[in-house]
Structure 1
Amino acid sequence: MKITEEIVKEKTGYRLHILPSKKYKTISMVAKFKRPLMREGISERALLPHVLQKATNNHPNRRSLQSAFEYLYGTAFASDGAKKGENHVLSFRMDVVNEAYLNDNEPILEKAFQLFKEVLFEPKVIDSGFDGEIVSREKQTLEQKITSIKDDKMAYANMRLIDQMCKDEPYSLHVHGYLEDFDVITPESLYQYYQDMISNDILDVYVTGDVDPAAIEELTDQYLQRPVQSNHKQQEDKISAHPKVEKVKDIVEKEEVNQGKLHIGYRTYTKFGDDDYYALQIFNGLFGGFPSSKLFMNVREKHSLAYYAASRFESHKGLLLVFSGIDPKDFDQAKSIILEQMEAMKQGDFTEEQVSETKEQVINQLQETMDNASGLIEILYHQMLSGAEMPAEQLIANIRKVTKQDVVEMANKIQLDTVYFLTSNKGGE
């Protein structure tokens, strides 16, 4: 199996990644704007993708812009913001039908690039700000989204765990913004932030599908160049802090909940691109990543203590997070059994056969991700951020090379940092 060849070119104001592949019937283009996570401007940044995809100078309202996408055979457009380690990345994605599969000779791809450019670089501006009505509506929608996080207790507990665990680190910042900021964001201040982002963020553009690289390069040169001379390499953030755990934090918070949320954070001291990253993948699979894992089998199945019990790791920050939903009265027993599973991993209490099975599960998961255009782009972007680019064969070979001893060594590197428990406010006080 081979990931498509990646052609990377440094351009005026952006880095271009072309991924020719006959696997996909559509052509996907993704623009990723990156800057270090910072509190200042984070709510503006959270708002921007929503405002940009509602109107452009050429398509001044939502209906007009939507019609333009539909005219291009139902071209799909989406955007979001995410944390990648200590970086804040805004992604804009567009999937367009490959004109080779159409009967007419319309230059669909060029029109798609033109529309992509409009959304990114030619937003609707009135005087010196965005459209006030659009900004007001999108602020309202985002405020509702932030407020509703509290209703999704699993997401809320995860957010509070990170708040406490990474208290003085940029990683604790909320990429969806903060309610207290929205009153002071104006159409003008948001437009100023947008201009700063367009000028100073590091921009990577990915295009994948059955494409001619020379034609794609020509189109991106025509439509996606930025009025900046370089891609501001001085902003590149290669390091992410790995604070030592001085003392385990135990946090209990009370809300109106029927089901307690016991979420536990560990420091792995391993990130995407590190030599032992592959051992971390296998460790997580054995510990809590799959239905056959220790957490699932022992906390949920054997002791019936959890409605769910799983773990995942944050690739660019070096965190391992455990999630479990429990009856509040079972806190002590559930915590004890979760910590016992980590101890069992440190002692090597798992078989060679389980290691082999987990390696196959991790490889299957990786192959499924790479079979999807946006999944493939995410993997390549992860690699580029970490400076660890490699072909798919090498990735898979590195996973296959992991031994039981590697997993034991990884387990012994991992340190407990924070135990967070969201429990019922009834009866206790």
Structure 2
Amino acid sequence: MPYINEQIHEFNGLKVHLIPTDKFKTVTMFLQFCSPLNEKDVTKRALLSYVLKSSTKHSPSAQDLQKRLDDLYGASFASMLSKKGDYHILTLYMTAANERFISGASAKLFDESVKLLSEAVFEPAASDRQFDEKIVEREKRSLRARLESIYDDKMRYASQRLIDEMCQHELYRLHTYGYSEELDQVTADGLFEYYKKMMAEDQVDLYIIGDIQEKQSHILNTIQSALPFDKRQNKTRDIRINFNPVIPNEIKVVKENQDVEQGKLNLGYRTNIIYGDPLYYASQVFNGLFGGFPHSKLFMNVREKESLAYYASSSYESYKGLMIVMSGIEFSNYDKAVDIIKEQLEAVKNGDFTEHDIDQTKALLRNAVLEALDNPASLTDFLYRQVLTGQPVTAENWLHAIDQVRKEDIIKVAEKTTLDTIYFLQGEEAE
């Protein structure tokens, strides 16, 4: 029996993905809008995600909206933004109880949930071709607070600054939630104009996850009626086609001084291996072995053996072929920490790891994937990867491909991994 049973249906400008499963007593809907990253629109898109989830034409206040959610047995409704390669994803998602598991619940609980989602998308709090100005100003404050919180969280700030510097001439540099200094320039009518553009041009996918096997026909009829997106040309192209490898000519070093007590040392590497590359699965194992798990070389040598870092780990961005190393160190340990991180990559290139290390890494990757399938959000993320890349892959195929990775494949990935940028956030007194 397959891990995931996905059924896809298309209605004009909407692609519906049904994932029937008895793992959950809720029904979760993820409505995904995908568009290429755009410098002039990135802040508008971030603000729009806040405005759409905060009110509708029929529930213009936060209290009105919350009351409707409470009436739906405590349903939740929210939005989020993500960046996948050079694409900007705006997601509206709703989780509601499955009426099958609630005694006395209305048989139309799902229908009412879809109705609310439909209102948020097709009937936002707007009139005369502009959003309600009070709502826009309120959500500007909320978004500005989020952006300021990134500056206060130095680990997140350092990660963002590394990408700023490393991808200076690429769309990927653009911040997922936009820029605080641009918020004042966004008007209620300008935001509405962008909303209409998004509704007309974005690729739109709806994922519905839950114990829905017995009512799929009803669900599809309800969705077709409630979410009447116009047919559009597919604006989202295959990411594999858009990918342009970048070969660093030299290592860029950026040091920034702030009033911080702990240094944040982040290193950005380019593997130029993305989803669909023959070495893609080997790159997953490589990252896990290098810095992704507690038994990794970064954790064991930089943090445990040498006691140079409060934390040391790596992550892999499979849409851009980037590997990011993050560590927290004493300011005085900068040179030593950089050297020993570099040494770990050389050790992998030289094959300085065992079959046991590989097996342990594969086991942890397998567990991570299986755990992801038990969460509606990460399950959607796994399936949505296929939409963005145009390359279908089942969970079974993914796990099998990981199992087939050999030591020489991992070494090949390490040999293709090149240090691009070093970013160090240090104290104001540091040299």
Tell me the TM-score normalized by structure 1: 0.97
Contact 1:87/1:237 (<8 A) preserved? no
User: What RMSD, in angstroms, separates the aligned Cα atoms of the two structures?
Assistant: 1.2
Secondary structure at the aligned position of 2:151 is classed as coil
Partner residue, 1:344: 347
The superposition leaves residues 166-221 of structure 1 with CA deviations (integer Å, 9 ceiling, x where unpaired) of 00100000121112211211111111111111111110111111113222211110
Give the aligned residue type for 1:143. R
Distance 1:234 1:153, change over 3 A: closer
CA distance in 1, matches of 2:402, 2:60: 50
| Paired residues for 1:358-369 under 5 Å | 358-369=361-372
CA distance in 1, matches of 2:24, 2:276: 28
Partner residue, 2:73: 73
Give the Å deviation of 1:380.
0.3
Please identify runs of 4+ aligned residues in structure 1 that moved more than 3 A: none
The superposition leaves residues 141-184 of structure 1 with CA deviations (integer Å, 9 ceiling, x where unpaired) of 21122122211111111111000000010000012111221121
CA distance in 2, matches of 1:126, 1:394: 49
Contact 2:202/2:235 (<8 A) preserved? no
Task: Give the share of equivalent positions with the same residue, in percent.
Answer: 42
| Paired residues for 1:323-334 under 5 Å | 323-334=326-337
Contact 1:28/1:94 (<8 A) preserved? yes
Contact 1:17/1:207 (<8 A) preserved? yes
CA distance in 1, matches of 2:4, 2:151: 42
Does the alignment pair 1:376 with 2:374? no
Partner residue, 1:399: 402
Secondary structure at the aligned position of 1:30 is classed as strand
| Paired residues for 1:30-45 under 5 Å | 30-45=30-45
How many residues are paired up?
A: 426
Partner residue, 1:125: 126
Does the alignment pair 1:244 with 2:247? yes
| Paired residues for 1:201-280 under 5 Å | 201-211=202-212, 212-226=215-229, 228-230=230-232, 232-238=233-239, 239-280=242-283
Contact 1:36/1:237 (<8 A) preserved? no
CA distance in 1, matches of 2:33, 2:411: 38
User: Which range moved further: 144-153 or 326-335?
Assistant: 144-153
Partner residue, 2:96: 96
Partner residue, 1:165: 166
Partner residue, 2:52: 52
Give the aligned residue type for 2:202. D
CA distance in 2, matches of 1:126, 1:192: 12
Partner residue, 2:85: 85
Does the alignment pair 1:182 with 2:183? yes
Give the aligned residue type for 2:188. P
Give the aligned residue type for 2:344. Q
Distance 1:80 1:234, change over 3 A: closer
CA distance in 2, matches of 1:378, 1:162: 22
Give the Å deviation of 1:237.
4.3
Unaligned segments of structure 1, at least 5 residues: none
Match of 1:390 among 388, 393, 399: 393
The superposition leaves residues 351-399 of structure 1 with CA deviations (integer Å, 9 ceiling, x where unpaired) of 0111011100100011000111221111000122122212221111111
Partner residue, 1:21: 21
User: Which range moved further: 335-344 or 76-85?
Assistant: 76-85
Does the alignment pair 1:8 with 2:8? yes
CA distance in 1, matches of 2:406, 2:236: 37
Give the Å deviation of 1:10.
2.2
Partner residue, 1:421: 424
Give the Å deviation of 1:128.
2.5
Tell me the TM-score normalized by structure 2: 0.96
Contact 2:34/2:236 (<8 A) preserved? no
